[in-house]
Structure 1
Amino acid sequence: MTVKPGAAITTAAAAVASFLSGMDVLIVNVALPTITAELGGSMAVQQWVVDGYTLLFAALLLLAGSLADRFGAKRVFLIGASLFAAASLFCSFAWSMGALVAGRCVLGVASALILPASMSLINEANPESHRRAWALALWGAGGASASAVGPLLGGLLTPIHWSLVFTVNIPFCLLILVVAPRIHASPRRPVRFDWVGQTLALAGLATFVAGIIEVGPLGLLHPATLALLLCGVLLLVAFAASQAKVDAPMMPLGLFRVRGMQVALQIGFIMIFNWYGMVFICTMFLQNQLGMGAFAAGLVFVPSAFVTIAGNLAGGRIITALGSKFSITLGLAIMIAGFLFEFLMPAPIPVWAVATGLSVVGFGAAITTPAAAGVVLASVDGSQTGIASAMFNTFRQVGGAIGVAVFGVVATFLPSLDAALRVVFLASALLLVYVLAFESLRWRAR
C-alpha cells in the first residue's frame, strides 16, 4: 500500500480545521450570559451571535466547494485559516453586540472556506479506502469533539474574560499555516461559478432564519415576521428553480437523486439541528435556571468531550469492519436512546442526567458523522467530491442555524428552560426516528 507524501500532515491539518469550525459554533454559548451582561442584548440578539456565524457558514459552503475545485483545495484552505485568525482577533476586541455579530459573520465566511476544502484534502491525500476511512474518522473526531469541547473551553475561559473564547482560535490557525508547506498539494479543475444561485441562497437563508428568530420577540403573525418568512421561502424556491437552469449550478440537483446523498444529507441536517439547538438551550438552562457559573456549566460537557473522541476513533474501526450503513444505523439508535433518557428524567433535569445524556448522544453522533461523510464521498466521482462535500456540510450548518432559531423561539413561549429542554429532547428523538426509518427504507429499496 502506497502512502502519499504529506498524507499524515494533511489529515491532521484537516482535523484541526474541522475542530475549529465545530468549536466556534458552540464555544460562544457558555459565554453569552457574560457577554450580554457587558454589551447588552436580548434573546434574539444572542441567537444572532450564534446564527451570524452559522448562517454565513452554511450559505457560502457551496460556493467554497466550487472555489476548492477551481483554485485547489490547499490554497482555499490556507486562505480560510488566515481569515479565521483575523476574524477571531476582531471578535476578541468587539466593543458592541453589533460589532461582535459582524465579526462572527466573517468567522462564518472563513469556516465556509476551510471545511469543504479540508474534506477534499483528506480525499486527495488518502486515495486508498482503508486509509480514507481512518482519515475521515479523525476528521470527524475533530468536528464532533469540538461540539463537546467548545462549551468546556467557553466555561474555562469566560471567567477570565469572554474575549478569550475567540483568541483561543488563533494558535490553531497559526499551527495550520506553519505546516502549510507539508500539506498535500491539490489539483485545480475548471469550474464556473453560479453567482445568481449564491445570491439567492444567501438572501433566502438569511431572511428565513431571521423570520424564525423574530417569532420570539414579535410573534408569528406580526407583519414583519410574516414578511421575512415569506420572502425567505420565495427566495429559496427561486434558488432551487435557478439550479435547474444554469449551466454550472452550485447545488447540482442531480445529486439529490443519488440514494447515498439523500440519506447523508438528511442525517447531516437533523443531527446538527438537534445538537446545536440542544447545546444552546442546555447552556441557558444550566446557568439561568440552575444558577451555575460559566465554569461549572462548561464542566458538564467534559464527559461528552472524551466520549465523543472515543466514539470517533471506534467509528473508524466499525466502518472498516462492518461498513458505513451499519455504523449509521448504530449511531442513530444510540442518539435516540440518549435523547429519550434525558426526556424521561424528573423535573428539573438533574445535572448528572444532562451530562450523561450529552455523552450518549455525542457517542452516537461520533459514530454516525464519519460514516455519513464516507457515504457522500463514495456516492460521487472524483470530480464532484468538492461540491458533494460542500452540500453535505451545508445541510449540516443550515440545520444548526435553524435549530438554534427554532429552539430559541420555543424557549420564549414555554414557562421554564427545563420545559424547553424537554421539548428539545423529545423533538430530537422523534426526528432521528424518522431519519432511521428513511435510511432503512432507502437502502432496502436498492
Structure 2
Amino acid sequence: MTDSIRTTAMNVPHASNATNAAQPNDGTASRGDRLSSNLTTFAAAVASFLAGMDVLIVNVALPTIAAELGGDMAVQQWVVDGYTLLFAALLLLAGSLTDRFGAKRLFLAGATLFGAASLFCSFAWSMTALVAGRCLLGVASALILPASMALINEANPNPRRRSWALTLWGAGGASASAVGPLLGGLLTPIHWSLVFDINVPFCLMILAVAHWIKPSPHRAIRFDWLGQTLSLIGLTALVAGIIEVGSIGFAVPATLALLAAGLIALAAFLLSQKKVAAPMMPLNLFRVRGMQVALQIGFIMIFNWYGMVFICTMFLQNELHMTPFAAGLVFVPSAFVTIIGNLAGGQIINARGSKFSITLGLAIMIVGFLIEFLTPAPIPVWVIATGLSVVGFGAAITTPSAAGVVLKSVDSAQAGIASAMFNTFRQVGGAIGVAVFGVIATFLPSLTLALRSVFLASAILLAYVLVFELLRWRDR
C-alpha cells in the first residue's frame, strides 16, 4: 500500500471550521480540550453500544417473554423489528435534525428518551405495550446514533485521533452485538424486565459527561416531511408484509397489499427526493463510489448478523432446549473477539488503509459463515460459537473502516446526513434480515435447516459485496 493511500485513507472531513478552531490538533491541544475530546468519544461509544445492544439483548429473552405475555413467531419478530424499524425509518430525519439543532442537543435528548423508554418496556403488561415501548426505543436510538458519529467528527479534528475514536465507536456497536445476547441470558432467568432496566445506567453515564461535551455547530435547513412520511410508510408496510408472509402466507390479500403499499411508497419516496428542494436522502450521494461500497456493506452485514442471531437464539433454546443463560454463553467468545478485532481494526486502517481493512474483514466473515454451513448436521454448539467469533472478528475490522469511508467521501456540510444514511442502511438491513430469516424458519421443517440456510445466504451476500468492493472501488 502506497504512502499516499495510507495518508488519504484517514483524511476524514472536518465537521466545520468552527469545530476545527475549537479543537486544535494533538500537539497544541490543551488539557481541557483533550478531556472534552476523550469524554465525548467515550459518550459516543457508549451510545453506539446501547443502540447495538438493544437490538439483540431481547432475542434471548423472547421465549420467556412470550411464555408470560403471549405471542407467536410473528409477534416476537415485531418485538425485535418494532425497535429496528423505527430506528431505521427515522435515522435520515435525525441526521437532518442533527445538522439543524446541533449534534449535542440531539444526542442528549436521545439518551434521555432511551432511558425513559427502557423503563416503560420493563413494566410492559402486554405484548402490545412492549412493542410500543420498543418503538420508542427505536426513536431514541435514531436520535443518538447519527449524533454520536457527528460528535466524534467534531471532537477529533486530527485524522489519526479520529481514526482511533471511530475504532472505539465501532467497538461499542460491534461488541454490543455479541454482548447483548450474553446479558440477555444472564438477566432473563432473574426476570425478563431486567434486559430493559440494564439500559438506564448507561444512559445516566452519557448524561453525566454532558458538561464536557462542547456545543455543536448548527445551521438552518429545511425538513423533507414528505420524504419522511413516505419512507416511514414504505418501510413499515414492507417489513410488515414480509413478516406476514410467514404468519398468514404470501398469496393472501392482506400480505400482498402490505408488500405492494411498501414498494409503491418507497418508489414515491425516491421520486420525491428528485423533486424536493431539501431532500432527506440526497440522491447525489449514491453516485459517490465510496458511499456505494459503505452502504452495501452496512446493509448486508447487519442483515446477516441480526437475522442470524434471531434464528440462532431460537435454535439454541427451542431445538436444543438450552436455558437462556446457556444460550447467552454461546455468544461469550464472540464478545471478546469482537472487541479485539475493533482495537486491531484501527491499527490496520492506519497501516494499510480502508480498502485493505474492508477486504480483509469481508473475507474473514465469509470464512466464518462457511465454517458453520459446511459442518455436518447436527451442528455442535462449539462450532456455532467458533463461527460467531470468526464473523464477529471480521465485522469488527470492517465496521470502523466503512464508517471512515462514509465521512471522507462527502464534504463536511453533508457529514451528518451521510452518517445517517449509512446507519439507516444498516438498520433497514437488520429489520429486513429478522423478517426474512424469520419467514425462512417458518417454512423450513426444522430450525437446524433454517440456520444452515442463514449461514449459506450470508456467505453469498458477503461474497457479492467483496467482489463489488474489489472491482468497483479504489480507496483514494
Is the aligned partner of 1:41 residue 2:92?
A: no
The whole-number CA distance in structure 2 between the counterparts of 1:33 and 1:113 is 29
Paired amino acid for 2:376 = P
The whole-number CA distance in structure 2 between the counterparts of 1:321 and 1:189 is 36
Is the aligned partner of 1:167 residue 2:170?
A: no
* Residue 395 of structure 2: aligned partner: 365
* Residue 52 of structure 2: aligned partner: 22
The whole-number CA distance in structure 1 between the counterparts of 2:241 and 2:276 is 29
* Residue 418 of structure 1: aligned partner: 448
CA positional deviation for 1:445: 10
Q: 2:311 aligns with which of 267, 274, 281?
A: 281
Q: 1:8 aligns with which of 38, 51, 54?
A: 38
The whole-number CA distance in structure 2 between the counterparts of 1:197 and 1:232 is 14
* Residue 73 of structure 1: aligned partner: 103
* Residue 376 of structure 2: aligned partner: 346
* Residue 251 of structure 1: aligned partner: 281
Deviations 1:322-363 (A, max 9, x none): 001100000000000000000011212100000000000000
- Structure 1 residues 98 and 356, CA gap change in structure 2 (3 angstroms): same
- Structure 1 residues 222 and 275, CA gap change in structure 2 (3 angstroms): same
Contact 2:354-2:475 at 8 Å conserved across structures: no
Q: How does 1:246-325 map to 2 (within 5 A)?
A: 246-325=276-355
- Structure 1 residues 337 and 196, CA gap change in structure 2 (3 angstroms): same
Q: 2:130 aligns with which of 100, 123, 130?
A: 100
Paired amino acid for 2:240 = A
* Residue 429 of structure 2: aligned partner: 399
- Structure 1 residues 116 and 297, CA gap change in structure 2 (3 angstroms): same
* Residue 207 of structure 1: aligned partner: 237
Q: How does 1:209-228 map to 2 (within 5 A)?
A: 209-228=239-258
Paired amino acid for 2:257 = A
Which runs of at least 4 in structure 1 moved beyond 2 Å after TM superposition?
Answer: 1-5
Paired amino acid for 1:71 = F
Deviations 1:248-292 (A, max 9, x none): 000000000000000000000000000000000000000000010
Please, which moves more after superposition, 175-184 or 384-393? 175-184
Is the aligned partner of 1:182 residue 2:251?
A: no
Deviations 1:406-425 (A, max 9, x none): 00000001011010000000
Q: How does 1:30-179 map to 2 (within 5 A)?
A: 30-179=60-209
The whole-number CA distance in structure 1 between the counterparts of 2:320 and 2:251 is 33
Structure 2: segments with no counterpart, 5+ residues: 1-26
Q: 1:390 aligns with which of 403, 411, 420?
A: 420
The whole-number CA distance in structure 2 between the counterparts of 1:209 and 1:367 is 29
Deviations 1:15-43 (A, max 9, x none): 00000000000000000000000000010
Structure 1: segments with no counterpart, 5+ residues: none
Let me know the Cα RMSD of the aligned residues.
Answer: 0.9
Contact 2:49-2:173 at 8 Å conserved across structures: yes
- Structure 1 residues 387 and 46, CA gap change in structure 2 (3 angstroms): same
The whole-number CA distance in structure 2 between the counterparts of 1:74 and 1:444 is 34
The aligned length equals 446
Q: Secondary structure at the match of 2:294?
A: helix
Paired amino acid for 1:125 = A
Is the aligned partner of 1:240 residue 2:231?
A: no
Is the aligned partner of 1:191 residue 2:221?
A: yes
Q: Secondary structure at the match of 2:451?
A: helix
Q: Secondary structure at the match of 2:278?
A: coil
Contact 2:355-2:475 at 8 Å conserved across structures: no
CA positional deviation for 1:2: 3.8
The whole-number CA distance in structure 2 between the counterparts of 1:166 and 1:369 is 26
The whole-number CA distance in structure 2 between the counterparts of 1:120 and 1:243 is 23
Deviations 1:70-99 (A, max 9, x none): 000000000000000000000000000000
The whole-number CA distance in structure 2 between the counterparts of 1:400 and 1:302 is 21
Paired amino acid for 2:339 = I
Contact 2:96-2:280 at 8 Å conserved across structures: yes
Q: 2:411 aligns with which of 356, 381, 384?
A: 381
CA positional deviation for 1:444: 4.9
The whole-number CA distance in structure 2 between the counterparts of 1:91 and 1:357 is 32
Paired amino acid for 1:395 = F
